[in-house]
Amino acid sequence: MFHWLEKHPFFFAVGVFVTIAFAGLIEILPNFAEASRPVIGTKPYSTLELAGRHVYIKNSCNACHSQLVRPFKSETDRYGDYSLSGEYAYDRPFLWGSKRTGPDLMRVGNYRTTDWHENHMKDPASVVPGSIMPAYRWMFTNLADVETAYAEQLTVAQFFSVPYNKPVPMKDGSTAVVKMGSSLADAQALALEEAKAIAADMKDQDVKDAVARGEIPEIVALIAYMNSLK
Amino acid sequence: MENRPLEYDYTVAKMFMFTTIVLGIVGMLIGVILAFQLAFPSVNLILGEGLAEYTNFSRLRPLHTDAVIFGFTLSGIFATWYYVGQRVLKVSMAESKLLMALGKLHFWLYLVVVAAVVVSLFAGVTTSKEYAEFEWPIDIAVVVVWVIFGLSIFGLIGIRREKSLYISVWYYIATFLGIAMLYLFNNMEIPTMLAASPAGETGLGAWYHSVSMYAGTNDALVQWWYGHNAVAFGFTVPIVAMIYYFLPKESGQAIYSYKLSLLSFWGLMFVYLWAGGHHLLYSTVPDWMQTMGSIFSVILILPSWGSAINMLLTMKGEWQQVAASPLIKFMVLGSTFYMFSTLEGPIQAIKSVNAIAHFTDWIVGHVHDGVLGWVGFMIMAALYHMAPRVFKREIYSKSLMAAQFWIQTLGVVLYFTSMWIAGITQGMMWRAHDEFGNLAYSFVDTVTVLHPYYTIRGIGGLLYLIGFFMFAYNIYKTMSARPVEESELQNASPMGA
C-alpha cells in the first residue's frame, strides 16, 4: 500500500490530510458547544475596557503576563480563585499567555488600584523594587482607539449575540447592564464618562487635562481594563 | 537533448537562501536584544526614550518569534524545496516556464508579506495569538503565498521523471498540507469594519482590525492546536525532509531503514496533532483533552526517535566522517538535539512536571534547544551543502565552519542549561510555602533570582549569533569566489544524484 501511495501523489496527499485532520475533529469540535457559556457574574467589556484590552494586546502584555489561575493552592493563595471556563466567554481572543515573566493578571482588579497602575506603568521599579518590567510612558500621551473598540462591540453583538444593553445576572442575584452606544458619538460619550472617573483617581496633570478636553490617553483605557479583571 | 544530463535551475533556491540568511540575522539579533533586556532592563531603551515604544521587550518579542519561524525557517524550507525538489523528482525548473514564473512570484510575494509583517508588528498591530499575530489582510496574503508554494510542489511533482516520491517529498507535502489546515482554522476572524451601528454608520475603526471567531477556552484550544503543530509542521516535518536528503548526500551513505522511515512518517502524522493539549494542562479545557495531550506527547517519542535513530544509523560504519567533516557534525549533532528535545518535550507534558514547568523559562529553554540545536543547525548544514553546487564554487573555509560549529554548540548548551535551572528554580519558588502555610516568596523575589541565568542565556544567544555571522560570511565569500571548473555528476540515480 505504501509503495503504491508513493507513486500516486494525489492519494498520498489525501492520506496525509485525513491522518492529520483526525485529531482536530475528535479533540476540538466537541468542546465548541460546551465552553462558550458565561458563568454568572461575567459581563461583556464596556467600550473603554475594550479599548484598554486593545492597548494590552498592542503592547503584547500577554508575552509576559498570563491570565489563567491554575487550580493549585500556591496559585489561589497568590492570585485568587482559580479560573473557570465561562469567565472567558467574552474574551476574543483569549489572553492566557504562555509565560509568566511577570505575575498573573486574571484578577488584578481585586488587589491593585488606579493609582498603583499609574505609578507602576510610569516606572515599575519605583513601585516594585527589583522589577525588570520596562516603563510604558508612551501610553500617557498616545490616544486610545475608542472607535475600533466600538466597531468590535458592534461586531460581537451582531455575530456572537454578546449581550450589550441587556441585563446580565450577577453573583449577588442582581442584574447589570453593559451599555453600548447607538452611534459612534454616543459610544465616545460613554467611554469619556468612564474615563473621567478613572482620571479623577490619577495624578498625572497631562492625562487629567487630556480627559478634560475630551481625549482619552491609552493609559486611562488600560487601567479601566485592568480594573475590570476580577 | 535526451542524452544530455539534466541542468537544474537554482534561481529561486538562491533567492530564498538569501532571505534565510538575512532574516536569520534579523531574528537572532532581536532575540539577543530581548535576552539582555531581561537581564538588564535598561536595554529596553537601547535607542533612547523617544523610540522606547518600538524597542521595548513586549513589542519586539513577536518580531523575534515570527522572524525566526516565518523568516529564517520558512525561507530555509523554501530554499531547500527549490533545490531538493528538482533533484529527487529528476526534473528541472527550467523545463517549465510556468513553474519558474510561479517560483519567482512565490519569492517576491513572500518578501512583500515579510515587509508588511515587520511594519505591522512594530506598529503594534497584532491579534496577540502566538505565531499567528498577523491581522486579516496579511493572513490573506499569507494564504496566497502558501497556495503558490503548493502549486509549485504539485506542479513539479506533476512533470516528474522519477515516479516514486522520495521520503523528503513526503515531508514537504505534509508541511504544505499541515500548515494550510492549521493556519486557516486558527485565523478565522471577522473584520470589525463590517459592522454597522444602530445609527447606520459603517466602516468604523481601524480597517485592519478583526475579532476572533472563537471565544475564551475554545480560542485557546484552537490556538494551541495550531501553536503546537506550527512547531510540528514548521520545525519538525520540513527539517526531517532536509536531513533525509542532505545527510545521505553529504555522507554518501544510504538511508539505514526504509521501514523505519515509513513508521516514523505515518506515526508522526497521526500522533503529533493530538499533543497540542499539553500547552493547556490545568487550564479550563476539559480534563480528557488535557490527558489526551499528555499521553500523545509521550507516544510522540516513538516517531520522533524513529527519524533521529534512522539518521544516526545511516552513519553506521562511517563515524570517522563526523570527526573529519564539519558539515556532517552539524547534521549529526542536529539529530542528537532533535532526540534530546523530543524527549524533553514529553517530560514537560507529563502533568505533574508541567505543574512546575509551565509558564517558566524551562519552556523557553526547550523551544531553543530544538530550534537552535536542531532547526538552525540543519538549515545551515543544508545551505552549506547547497552553496558549492548552486554557486559552482568551493566552500570558502572549512576551518571557519568548524570554529562556527563549536562556538554555536557552546552557545546552545549555555542557553538550555541556564534556562533549565532558571525554570525549575522559579517553578519551585512560586509554589513554596513557609512553616505557617503562607507563600514563601513574593513574585519579584522569583524574578530577581533569575538575573545570573538570564545573563548566561544572553551570552549563549550571543555566541550563537556570532556563529551565524560566521556562517553568513562563509557563504558570502563562497558566492563571491572564483568559480570552479569541474562539473559534478548529474546523471545518476536519485540516491546517487
Query: Regarding predicted confidence, which is higher, B22 or B491?
Result: B22
- Residue A129's nearest CA partner among B442, B425, B48 is B442
Q: Is residue B487 part of a domain?
A: no
A69-127 per-position pLDDT tens digit: 999 999 999 999 999 999 999 999 999 999 999 999 999 999 999 999 999 999 999 99
- Which residue of chain A is at minimal alpha-carbon distance from B291? A27
- A93–B221: do the CB atoms touch at under 8 Å? no
- B197–A150: do the CB atoms touch at under 8 Å? yes
Who among B163, B196, B274 is closest to A154 (CB)?
B196
- A133–B41: do the CB atoms touch at under 8 Å? yes
3-state secondary structure of B492: coil
B196-206 per-position pLDDT tens digit: 999 999 999 99
pLDDT bin (cut points 50, 70, 90) of residue B497 is: very low
With cell 530555509, the residue in question is B76
Give the CB-side neighbour count of residue A212, counting CA atoms within 13 A: 8
Judged by a CB distance cut-off of 8 A, whether residue A173 touches chain B is no
pLDDT score of B54 more than 60: yes
3-state secondary structure of B131: coil
Judged by a CB distance cut-off of 8 A, whether residue A83 touches chain B is yes
Give the CB-side neighbour count of residue B211, counting CA atoms within 13 A: 27
Q: Is residue B428 part of a domain?
A: yes
Q: Is residue B277 part of a domain?
A: yes
| Å between B293 CA and nearest CA of chain A | 9
The pLDDT of residue A2 = 83
Query: Which string of b and e fits B82-115 if b means at least 16 CB within 10 Å?
Result: bbbbbbbbbbbbeebeebbebbebbbeebeebbe
| Å between B408 CA and nearest CA of chain A | 26
Q: Distance (Å, rounded) from C-alpha B129 to C-alpha B24?
A: 22
Q: Which residues on B lie below 8 Å from A9 (Cβ)?
A: 154, 157, 165, 173
Q: Are strands A167-169 and B189-191 parallel, antiparallel or unpaired?
A: unpaired
B286-344 per-position pLDDT tens digit: 899 999 999 999 999 999 999 999 999 999 999 999 999 999 999 999 999 999 999 99
Q: Which domain holds residue B152?
A: 11-191+215-479
User: What radius of gyration do chain B's Cα atoms show?
Assistant: 23
Judged by a CB distance cut-off of 8 A, whether residue A80 touches chain B is no
Q: Distance (Å, rounded) from C-alpha B333 to C-alpha B412?
A: 11
Q: Distance (Å, rounded) from C-alpha A10 to C-alpha A150?
A: 47
For residues B207-234, average pLDDT:
92
- Residue B460's nearest CA partner among B18, B38, B17 is B38
Q: Distance of CA A212 to CAs A54, A193, A206, A209, Å?
A: 22, 10, 10, 5
Residue type at position B63? L
Q: With pLDDT > 70 as the criterion, what percentage of chain B qualifies?
A: 96
Q: What does the block give as the cell for B155?
A: 506542479
Q: Which residues pair with B210 in a beta bridge?
A: B191
| Å between B496 CA and nearest CA of chain A | 19
Identify the helix (H) or strand (E) that includes residue B191.
strand B189-191
Q: Is residue B161 part of a domain?
A: yes
With cell 488606579, the residue in question is A114
Q: Are B125 and B208 in contact (CB under 8 A)?
A: yes
List A residues 201-220 in contact with B (Cβ-Cβ < 8 A). Answer: none
User: What radius of gyration do chain A's Cα atoms show?
Assistant: 22
Q: Is residue B394 part of a domain?
A: yes
Q: Is residue B484 part of a domain?
A: no
A80: left (phi over 0), alpha (psi -120 to 50) or beta: left
For residues B239-246, average pLDDT:
96
The pLDDT of residue A35 = 59
Q: What does the block give as the cell for B451?
A: 538575573
With cell 545570573, the residue in question is B452
Of the residues A12, A20, A47, A66, the best mutation for testing chain B's interface (the one with the most B CB atoms within 10 Å of its CB) is: A20
Q: Which residues on A lie below 8 Å from B439 (Cβ)?
A: 74, 77-78
Of the residues B214, B279, B429, B438, the best mutation for testing chain A's interface (the one with the most A CB atoms within 10 Å of its CB) is: B214
B272-292 per-position pLDDT tens digit: 999 988 999 999 998 999 999
How many domains does one find in chain B? Answer: 1
Judged by a CB distance cut-off of 8 A, whether residue A25 touches chain B is no
Instruction: For residue B433, report the phi and psi dihedrals to the nearest 5 degrees.
Output: -115, 150
Q: Which residues on B lie below 8 Å from A24 (Cβ)?
A: 181, 185, 225, 273
Q: Distance (Å, rounded) from C-alpha B342 to C-alpha B354?
A: 15
3-state secondary structure of B458: helix
pLDDT bin (cut points 50, 70, 90) of residue B494 is: low
DSSP class of residue A103 equals: -
DSSP class of residue B374 equals: I
- Give me the numbers of helices (H) and strands (E) for chain B, helices first please: 20, 2
For residues B169-173, average pLDDT:
96
| Å between B382 CA and nearest CA of chain A | 24
DSSP class of residue B3 equals: T
Q: Distance (Å, rounded) from C-alpha B81 to C-alpha B149?
A: 10
**pLDDT tens across the length of chain A (230 residues):** 788 999 999 999 999 999 999 888 888 777 776 657 899 999 999 999 999 999 999 999 999 999 999 999 999 999 999 999 999 999 999 999 999 999 999 999 999 999 999 999 999 999 999 999 999 999 999 999 999 999 999 999 999 999 999 999 999 999 999 999 999 999 999 999 999 999 999 999 999 999 999 999 999 999 999 999 99
Q: Can you spell out the DSSP letters for B311-369?
A: HHHHTTT-THHHHH-HHHHHHHHHHHHHHHHHHHHHHHHSHHHHHHHTBSHHHHHHHHH
Of the residues A62, A92, A112, the best mutation for testing chain B's interface (the one with the most B CB atoms within 10 Å of its CB) is: A92
Question: To the nearest whole number, what is the mean pLDDT of chain B?
Answer: 93
Q: Is residue B4 part of a domain?
A: no
Q: Distance (Å, rounded) from C-alpha A49 to C-alpha A58?
A: 14
ipTM score above 0.90: yes
- Which residue of chain A is at minimal alpha-carbon distance from B171? A16
pLDDT score of B487 more than 90: no
The pLDDT of residue B493 = 55
Query: Regarding predicted confidence, which is higher, B168 or B1?
Result: B168
pLDDT bin (cut points 50, 70, 90) of residue B484 is: low
Q: Is residue B207 part of a domain?
A: no
Q: Distance of CA B11 to CAs B14, B18, B83, B154, B245, Å?
A: 5, 11, 9, 19, 20
The pLDDT of residue A1 = 79
The gap from C-alpha A49 to its chain's centroid, in whole angstroms, comes to: 8
The gap from C-alpha B494 to its chain's centroid, in whole angstroms, comes to: 27
The pLDDT of residue A31 = 73
| Å between B405 CA and nearest CA of chain A | 30
B337-357 per-position pLDDT tens digit: 999 999 999 999 999 999 999
- The pTM is what? 0.94
CB atoms within 10 A of CB B290: 20
B96-111 per-position pLDDT tens digit: 999 999 999 999 999 9
User: Which CATH number do you get for residue B170?
Assistant: 1.20.210.10
